[in-house]
Amino acid sequence: MSDDRMENSLLGTEAEDKSSLTGKVWAESKKIWRVTFPAMLARVATYGVFVVTQAFIGHISDTELAGYALIQIIGLRFANGILLGMSSATETLCGQAFGAEQYHMLGIYLQRSWIINLVTATILVPVFVYTSSIFKLLGIEDEIAEAAGYIALWFIPIIYYYVFFFTIQMFLQSQLKNTIIGWLSAISFAIHVLLSWLFVYVLDWGIPGAMSALIISNWLAVIGEFVYMFGGWCESTWKGFTWAAFTDLWPVIKLSMSSGIMLCLELWYTSVLVLLAGYMTNATVAISAFSICLNISGWEIMICLGFLTGASVRVSNELGRGNAKAVVFAIKVILGTSISIGVVFWILCLVFGRQIAYIFTSEEDVAEEVSSLSVLLAFSILLNSVQPVLSGVAVGAGTQSVVAYVNLGSYYVIGVPLGIVLAYVAKLEIQGIWIGMLIGVATQSAVLSFIIYRMDWDKQVNKATEKLHRWFLKRSEDNGESSTSEQLNG
């Protein structure tokens, strides 16, 4: 591959506008949004389906709302963390195969991931079958545990939805086909809102109606991915089902497990905090209010996670181009854009803190508890606009292990223990748990900011250049051996 072709294969090779700072910011913003918007749309829509379901269930019953919150944020996130983490191996393997132009291997890696994740999902099913008993053993009130156990059974089809949705999404993203994922997720969300209204309000089906709408809308997105993949839009990378998928599974299993463990420990942070809320004086109100605030914060952070993708791509692209100054400029633009959006949501949360609760519940005591958390929620949302961008920058620079250790230390060494002390020793109850969570995220943001500020980007450019040279040298040697072999055979 020539230098020109290599440069053009990286995002952001448009001519730089050196005429003014405004022109440079505008040019950089266009590059960022090309990557960020599809990722943002997919994340917001996918997460929004679960938030909408919570809103409909919240108007059915206070107890069912608490039960749904427990199983969604603890049980489902437990399964989500494992399956999403294990699916991330698909992204790594497919990305490497696509870069090496071994296009036929993408379909094989995808099928291997299906096999591994289907087995994993089946192993997780008993957790959902015996959810009620598990929560009772953990000390959750019997009424809430029973409600969670019933709703958990409806989540079993969602576990298998994760198997296909995550893996196909990463299969497509590795080929830069991420726009289709965003639109499929958005269409699924719109259908979900319509079905939820029809099943819950018009037909009055209650919990079965809300959960049926959730299952149908999610699986429609997966069906859309299958249609796109089987319909000829991936003809180079999908060659049909093959027995080769059943070979060499162990390396994929090891990579999947290592990816899953790191991601699980980060995703389970809020699950631990919701479980702690179950031991409050009024557990039903505490769990309901805490989960409402977490889902509002979680939905907003989906927007910011789009910037994580943008930051990772822009930083890695510019490092590949050998432009350290462009890396620093891209970081500033992405961070400025994300914080600007965060400030808007921060203000909205402060102004409409109490009114937000009535979207999810009709109970005055739950709304009052949400209102008491609104200031803390607002500052969590503000931090959400910083933390994902910093993580994206670190990942783009190839320092994923550093991010993992920072997350573990900030969340589990500082955030959770501090939340327990403030909630039970200082008697701050639900506010104490949230303050602990907030301090954990703030610590993570501060540490990552320091690491990125002190990072020598010229050194990072040299590392990236060395990796590229090694890769192209290997490709050249392989091509040379192949040509020699052909000549000998001829």
The answer to whether the CB of 188 falls within 8 A of the CB of 45 is yes
What per-residue confidence (pLDDT) applies to 159? 93
Residues 207 and 306 in one domain: no
What per-residue confidence (pLDDT) applies to 349? 86
Domain-embedded: residue 137 = yes
Residue whose C-alpha is closest to residue 85's, from 318, 328, 256: 256
Domain-embedded: residue 487 = no
**Residue positions counted in the chain:** 490
Share of the chain above pLDDT 70, in %: 79
Phi, psi angle pair for 178, to nearest 5°:
-90, -15
Give the DSSP letter of residue 245. Answer: G
For the cut 50, the answer to whether the pLDDT of residue 3 exceeds it is no
Between 158 and 286, where is the model more confident? 158
Give the separation between CA 233 and CA 174, rounded to whole angstroms: 14
Share of the chain above pLDDT 90, in %: 20
Residues 175 and 202 in one domain: yes
User: Distance between alpha carbon 149 and the CA centroid of its chain, in Å?
Assistant: 26
Residues 152 and 127 in one domain: yes
pLDDT tens per residue across span 124-171: 999 999 999 988 888 788 888 899 999 999 999 999 999 998 888 878
Residue whose C-alpha is closest to residue 395's, from 339, 336, 317: 317
pLDDT tens per residue across span 24-82: 888 888 888 877 888 788 888 888 898 899 889 888 887 888 888 888 877 887 788 78
Please give the mean pLDDT across all residues of the chain: 79
Between 153 and 112, where is the model more confident? 153
Per-residue exposure over 217-226, b if at least 16 CB sit within 10 Å of its own CB, e if not = bbbbbbebbe
Which H helix or E strand runs over 390? helix 387-396
Distances 248 to 108, 112, 251, 252, 261 between C-alpha atoms, Å? 11, 9, 7, 7, 21
CA angle, 76 as apex, 399 and 197 as ends, to 5°? 120
Distances 310 to 206, 284, 391, 457, 459 between C-alpha atoms, Å? 40, 39, 11, 18, 22
Residues 435 and 388 in one domain: yes
Residue whose C-alpha is closest to residue 452's, from 311, 251, 286, 309: 311
For the cut 90, the answer to whether the pLDDT of residue 477 exceeds it is no
Query: Of 213, 244, 267, which one is at a domain's C-terminal end?
Result: 267
Residue whose C-alpha is closest to residue 178's, from 263, 94, 80, 304: 94
Residues 257 and 297 in one domain: no
pTM, rounded to two decimals: 0.71
**Count of C-beta atoms within a 10 Å radius of residue 402:** 15
Number of domains in the chain: 2
Residues 374 and 238 in one domain: no
Domain-embedded: residue 8 = no
Q: What would you report as the CA-atom Rg of the chain, rounded to the nearest whole angstrom?
A: 24
Domain-embedded: residue 126 = yes
Residues 50 and 94 in one domain: yes
Give the separation between CA 392 and CA 89, rounded to whole angstroms: 18
Residues 164 and 223 in one domain: yes
Give the separation between CA 294 and CA 376, rounded to whole angstroms: 11
Q: What does 447-475 look like in DSSP terms, one character per residue?
A: HHHHHHHH--HHHHHHHHHHHHHHHHHHH
Residues 291 and 235 in one domain: no
pLDDT tier for residue 489 given thresholds of 50, 70 and 90: very low
What per-residue confidence (pLDDT) applies to 475? 47
Q: Is 465 left (phi over 0), alpha (psi -120 to 50) or beta?
A: alpha
pLDDT tier for residue 369 given thresholds of 50, 70 and 90: confident
Q: Is the dihedral of CA 452, 32, 218, 260 positive or negative?
A: negative
CA angle, 244 as apex, 239 and 245 as ends, to 5°? 85
Domain-embedded: residue 472 = no
The answer to whether the CB of 106 falls within 8 A of the CB of 186 is no
The answer to whether the CB of 188 falls within 8 A of the CB of 215 is no
Give the separation between CA 100 and CA 96, rounded to whole angstroms: 6
Residues 194 and 89 in one domain: yes
The answer to whether the CB of 80 falls within 8 A of the CB of 264 is no
CA dihedral 415, 268, 294, 401 (to 10 degrees): 70
Domain-embedded: residue 141 = yes
Distances 283 to 280, 376, 433, 485 between C-alpha atoms, Å? 5, 20, 13, 72
Domain-embedded: residue 30 = no
Domain-embedded: residue 314 = yes
Q: Which of 12-21, 69-78, 408-417 has the lowest mean pLDDT?
A: 12-21
Q: State which residues form the domain around 357.
A: 281-465
Give the separation between CA 385 and CA 368, rounded to whole angstroms: 26
Query: Of 239, 267, 295, which one is at a domain's C-terminal end?
Result: 267
The answer to whether the CB of 368 falls within 8 A of the CB of 294 is no
Residues 165 and 103 in one domain: yes
Between 82 and 338, where is the model more confident? 338
Query: Of 267, 291, 326, which one is at a domain's C-terminal end?
Result: 267
**Count of C-beta atoms within a 10 Å radius of residue 323:** 17
Residues 242 and 289 in one domain: no
